[in-house]
Structures are given as structure tokens and as C-alpha cells.
Amino acid sequence: MTDCETDNGSTRKTRLWALKNDDSVHNEGSGDEIDDLVSTGTGSLADDSSRSETPTQSSSKRKKGKMRTTKPRIHFKCTNCLKEDHGQPLFGAQFNIQDSNPVIFATVGSNRITIYECQEKGQIKLLQAYVDADSDENFYTCAWTYDDVTGLPLLAAAGSRGVIRIICPTTMICVKHFTGHGQSINEVKFNPKDGNILLSLSKDHSLRLWNIKTDVCIAIFGGVDGHRDEVLSGDIDVEGNLIVSCGMDHSVKIWRLDKPTIRDAIQESYRFCPTAKTDKPFATVAQHYPDFSTRDVHSNYVDCVRWWGRLILSKSCDNRIVCWKPGKLADVEIWAKKTEGSIVTAPANEVSMLHDFEYRECDIWFMRFSTDYQQKVLALGNQNGKVFVWDIDDEDPAQAKCIILCHGKCISPIRQTTFSQDGNILICVCDDATIWRWDRQQM
């Protein structure tokens, strides 16, 4: 039992415990009882959750062609499944790719954060569970990082209350929390180049950048030309310089972190040290104008977006993940560089559409895809419990081949997929509180 300070300064009791006995190993669904299936068969629809209403009629009448399933280079087998006892939708899951041994992942749903270990032969071992003191909390997202002093893993989670919790699984303590967003937080992401820098995206139409080491809000992205509705998803590129965000306003926006104002604010956040005498708050930067914005890619809610090198993968409720590039196709960089090295934003918000990764029966929102660490495999679950997996290890996205993973007992919407660091384990979390493990097989 640990103490966590609440927004009003009072102290609440929160439960954080570890289970380390043999009963916490789940393997009853593995082996011959679970057969892997690669098919395009349909399953029965499950009840939609409160995050499933699509605002407009989706393109369900879209011409249906045959999926690319010839000679796939990847193959997965279902090795385990388990169900969390709260019975509520699991909205997020993330592997800890900072440390691949042991193979750890976390799930979030209801007011609970749960941490598991993937073991050999398809086993899944329950390690820890955190239950928020507020029964009305509903966690939507989580992300892993590490303490740059101790090297211990840290887990950030947030949801409907708009509070970011930072948990240290090693010490089993909620070490910090951050407030500031006016409404729920839909996604959190750590900067791949700096594990102390956290991005949060919220229903209050804004993005916030935090330094979890010094406990300050570095910048707020939103306002004049920001998102006009709920921000649903976002990502930071591998170089740690560009944020891409999307939301209910049908738009995708890019925000630069290498601008002098933002770069200086990040550096200043490490030097910030308030004293009892001054108690002067940190000068949070207000960034009202994105460096790129478009509504030409999607005509509905955009609920998931990821960087793929210099390309962008984004999806809406129209049964396709779009691969596209900001600017012209011939442009090497998104922004042209002058001789003196300064960066100039593109004069027009042009987009170059490259390829559509098509799938079926996924016209509800808040359904998220993922890629493996090497960005060679792409996976997305649909509302009928099927997983579409593309082999994207090809210079031409149009050559990507798709396989469909399904199991007779998995018929609930798959909210998120996540890959282990080596890409050999795929975890899917569903609306019926089930977790499905798929292991990659050698061809």
C-alpha cells in the first residue's frame, strides 16, 4: 500500500502489489488447445464500448478486393490468452523495449494498470497490478521509460481524469503525478532520444510536453491554429525533433521540437530549480501554430498516427491505414534547409499519398495499430477480433503483404496491438478484457 498525493493536496491510499507465486502464471490457453489461424473468415460482432461511436457513415460499401496473402514472409501462432477480472475494456498495451530481458509489457483498462512477463512456451506471468484510488478513473494509455540515474524502468499511464501517473515497478511505488490538462488524456509518448521528455495528448484540444525529471510542463501545443477538437493520438520521430498529432477535427499536424524556443525551453527545464523564497513557476512555452497541418488525408476522426521514417502512417474510421508524406514526393526533407543551416517550413501544406493498407470491419474509432521496433511489421486489430499484419520490410509500401490472424474465441474489438523489442511476440488487448499472445514462427 502506497500514498499518492491528489490534485487538491490531500493524500489518498492507492494499491500497488506484486504477485510472485505460481498461480500468477497463465498458460491454460496455450499448446494444442489454441490453434493458429491465418484466414479471412468473418466473426460475430461484439458490443461496442463508449469509445466506439463513429460520427458519420463509414465507407463500408468500399469495393472489397482480395487481401495480399500470397507467400507471406511472416507467420504467427496464438500461444496464450487470458482475461483480467475487472471485465472492462483494455484500451492500451505497451512492451518495455528499453530492456528486452525479461520481456515485460503493461496493459491499461478501467482504473487498473497491470504488468506481465512473457515467458517461454507461450506463458504469461502476472507481476504487478496498480489500482487507482478513484473508481471512476479509466486508463486509456501507457508508455515506458527509465530513470537516467538508477536505470530502473518507469511506467507512465493516463486516462479519463487527465492525471499522468509515473510508476516505478521495481519499488512498487507511484513516484510522481502530473496535472494540467483540463480533460482526459488519450495518449502519452516518451521522446526516443530523451527518456525524461514526455508528450501527452488530450481531449482539451492540446498537447503538452513534460520533463518528468524536474517536474515541469515545458510547452503547450494548441490554441490559434491548433486542433479544434479532441486530440486522439501522436508520435515523436526517432530523432526526437518532430511531433505528429491527429484528432477528431480530421486533421494531422506536425510540431517541431528543434525550434530555438522549444529547444531552449527543454534545456532550461533541466536547470529549473525553484526555491522556497521565490517559488517562481517555470516559463512554459505556448506554441499556437503548428509547422504543418492538413485535412486532405482523412475525412473523419483520425485516431492513430505514427512516424515511419520520414513517412507518416495514419488511420481513420474508413478501413485503411494511409501511408503518406508531407510535402512533395521528390522532397528529401520535410523542410528545405538554407545554406546557413536554418530550417524553413514548406510554404504550402501539401501531401503526397503513397499507399493505402486496406483492411475490413474496423469502422469504429480509438482502434490503434503498431509497428515493431525495427518498423518492419505493422499490425492492427479490428472490431471482430481479427488482426491484420503487414510485412512492410520493403522500399515500396505497395508491395507489403498482409496476413490475417484470428481465433474462434477472439470476437471482441481489439483496441491496441504491441510488439516485443525483437518483434517475435505480438500482444493484442480487447474490449472484453482479454489479452491475446501471438508468437512469430520460423518459416
What was the pLDDT predicted at 86?
95
Instruction: Give the type of residue at 172.
Output: M
Q: What angle do CA 186, 190, 195 make, to 5 degrees?
A: 155
Instruction: Give the type of residue at 308.
Output: W
What was the pLDDT predicted at 100?
76
Nearest to 155 by CA among 107, 123, 203: 107
pLDDT value at 72 more than 90: no
pLDDT value at 318 more than 80: yes
Nearest to 236 by CA among 153, 128, 145, 167: 145
| SS3 of 70-86 | CCCCCCEEEEEEEECCC
What was the pLDDT predicted at 314?
98
What was the pLDDT predicted at 82?
97
**What is the 8-class DSSP label of residue 269?**
H
Contact between residue 109 and residue 89 where contact means Cβ atoms under 8 Å apart: yes
- Lowest average pLDDT, out of 65-79, 249-263, 306-320, 386-400, goes to 65-79
In angstroms, the Cα distances linking 233 to 174, 218, 394 are 25, 19, 26
Q: Which residue has the higher pLDDT, 4 or 151?
A: 151
What was the pLDDT predicted at 442?
85
pLDDT digits (tens, 9 = 90+) for 73-124: 899 999 999 999 999 999 999 999 887 789 999 999 999 999 999 999 999 9
State mean pLDDT over 229-233.
Answer: 98
What was the pLDDT predicted at 172?
94
Q: What is the number of other CB atoms lying within 10 angstroms of the CB of residue 23?
A: 8
> Could you tell me which residues are beta bridge partners of residue 316?
none
pLDDT digits (tens, 9 = 90+) for 392-431: 998 888 889 999 999 999 999 999 999 999 999 999 999 9
Q: How confident is the model at residue 59 (pLDDT cuts 50, 70, 90)?
A: very low
What was the pLDDT predicted at 394?
86
% of the chain exceeding 70 in pLDDT:
80
Q: What is the number of other CB atoms lying within 10 angstroms of the CB of residue 375?
A: 17
pLDDT value at 6 more than 70: no
> Could you tell me which residues are beta bridge partners of residue 322?
314, 356
State mean pLDDT over 29-55.
Answer: 46
